[in-house]
Amino acid sequence: YNMFTSDLRRNCPVIVMANPRVTSPREAAESGKTVVYLQGGIHPSECEGKEALMMLIRDILIGDKKYLLDKLIILCCPNFNVDGNESWSIQPELPNLAGIRENALGFDINRDAIKLETTNMQGLCRNLFNNWDPTVILDTHLLEITTTAYSITYTTSTIPAAHPEPGKYVSEKLLPAVRKAAFQKGGIEIFTYGRVDKNSSPTLYSPERALWTTEAKFLVNAYGLRNRMAILVETPGFESFEKRIYSQYVFARELLEYVYENGEQMQQICKQADEDVVNKILNEAHTGKVKNYIAGKYESAGKADIYAYEKLVMKYLPGTSVLQTALENPDEPPLLHKDLELLTKPVGTEQAVMPRGYLIPADMEFIVEKLRLHNVKVDVLEKPVAATGQEYVIDKMSSIKKPGYGQYEMTILEGEFIESPKRQFPAGTFKVDMAQPTANLAFYCLEPQVGDGFAGWRLLDDYLKKIGVNEQKIVYPIYKYFEILEE
C-alpha cells in the first residue's frame, strides 16, 4: 500500500507480507502474530539497506524464508525517502551514483522524529506506526567515515525518558543473540554502534562520537518512547558496496529469525510497558511526585577490546580522478584496541515532574495536530474547569546551533516551575490525559526544558514571541495539571 505521497508526488510503497494475507491493521492485531517493520533509504545515499531488504523480500515471498510468515507479519519499505532517492549525486566520501541525503525540501528526515515536519515522517507515523503498531522496527544506514572494523554496527533507542524494559531487552537479549547468529551463520563480526576516540584519555568508544545522542530526534530513539523496540544499523563506508549489502542482509535476516522464535515474549514486554505507564499515571501522577527524564548522557558500560583500523585516507579510484574514502593499508588487519571504555550506557541527568495531564490553549491547535500524529490522544473541554498543578515561568528564550548534519538551530527556554494552587480553564481548551501508553512521548514533546521537544525544535517560537517572551517574563502556555477540580 502507499504510505504517503511525497512532496514531488511520488508514492512511497510498503509491502505487507503475511500468510494468510491480512488486509488491515485490525486483521494483523487479531492474528496475534508479531508485527515487524523494516526500513531502508531514509538517507538514499546510504543505499545498501534498500538493496538488502529487496533481497530479503524475495527470499520471504518466493524463497526459503516463507516459514517466517507462520509467526510474523512483516512490513517493509526499502525506499522511504522516495524523492531523495531520485535526486542523484556523486557522494564525496563514497563515489557511488546515489540519491541525496535529504528529501525534496532539503530536510534530513532522520532529525524529524519529534517535530514531524516532513511529509515522510508524518506519513510514517500516521499510516504505519499508529495503525500497525510494530513490536520492533529496523532502520538501515551507512556510517561513511569510520575506522571501526566491524561489518555492521547496531544500537537501540537510548532515550532515558522511555520505559526501560523494551530497550533493555533489545540490548541485553536480542542484539547479543543476533550478533552471535550473524557470526555463526553469516560469517560476519558485528558490534555496538560507535567510534573510537583515540585522542581521549583513556581511549573511548562511544555512539556520541558518531552523532548518536540520547535525544529523540532520530527515528529509532523516538520510537522507544512508544514502549516499543527499535534498532538502527550502520555499515562502514570503507567496505565494498557488495559487502555492505551482504552485511545488511545478514543482520535483517537474523533479526527476523530471532523475532520468529521470541516474538510472543517481545509482544508481552511491550504490552507490560504500556500497562506500567498507564498505571503509574493513574495511581501516582496526581501527587506531583512522579518524575521522568528531560536530558541524558552516556556513561561507561564497562570495558571491551575493539577492533579498528589506524586511519582512513582519500584515494583516487583506479583510472579516474574521483576520490573515495579508503583504508590507508587495506591489506593490513585492523588493530585490537584493548580495554577501551565503552561509553554506551544511556542514563538520565535531569528530571521534571510528570503530570496527570496537560491543558493546552484552544489557539494552539498546531501543537495538538503534532501530538495526534504521535498517537497521543487529545480531548477538548466541553465546559470550564479548574485545575491544580504547575506552570513554567520563562525568564529568557534564546537559540543555539547544535552540531551534526545541517547545524540545526534549537530554542532554549530558561526559567522554573512554580506550584499553581488553582487555575481556571475555559471550554475549548485541549486536554491531554496522560493515562495512555504514549504518555512518555507526550511528556518529552511538551516539557519546556527538553532540548529537542516541541519547544526545542522552535515549534512554539512564534507563539511565545506573540505573547511577549522577548519583552518580559511569561508563563509557558501549556499547563501541567495534577488534578481537575471541576468537570
Q: Which tens digits make up the pLDDT trace of 240-256? A: 889 999 999 999 999 99
- What is the average pLDDT across 106-114? 95
**pLDDT score, position 321:** 74
Each residue's pLDDT tens digit, 318-361: 777 777 788 888 888 999 989 999 999 999 999 999 999 999 99
**pLDDT score, position 92:** 58
Contact between residue 150 and residue 189 where contact means Cβ atoms under 8 Å apart: yes
Alpha carbons within 13 A on the beta-carbon side of 171:
16
**pLDDT score, position 407:** 66
Residue 364: all three cell numbers together: 494552539
**pLDDT score, position 404:** 61
Q: Which residues lie below 8 Å from residue 236, measured CB to CB, with a gap of 6+?
A: 142, 143, 146, 148, 149, 150, 151, 153, 244
Give the whole-angstrom CA distance, residue 450 versus residue 296: 10
432: pLDDT strictly greater than 60: yes
Confidence class for position 91, pLDDT limits 50, 70, 90: low
**pLDDT score, position 242:** 94
What is this structure's pTM? 0.95
235: pLDDT strictly greater than 60: yes
Residue 285: all three cell numbers together: 501522577
Percent of the chain with pLDDT over 70: 97
390: pLDDT strictly greater than 70: yes
E-only strand ranges, 201-311: 204-206, 229-236, 291-299, 303-308
Stronger pLDDT, 96 or 191, i.e. the higher one: 191
Using DSSP's 3-state secondary structure scheme, residue 379 falls into: strand
**pLDDT score, position 322:** 72
For 446: left if phi > 0, alpha if psi spans -120 to 50, otherwise beta; the answer is alpha
Give the gyration radius of the chain's Cα atoms: 23
Each residue's pLDDT tens digit, 134-169: 999 999 999 888 888 999 999 999 999 999 999 999
Give the whole-angstrom CA distance, residue 274 versus residue 290: 16
487: pLDDT strictly greater than 70: no
Where helices occur in 117-212 by DSSP H, the ranges are 119-124, 130-132, 164-169, 175-186
Residue 315: all three cell numbers together: 584515494
Contact between residue 75 and residue 116 where contact means Cβ atoms under 8 Å apart: no
Provide the pairing of β-strand 195-197 with 190-192. Answer: unpaired
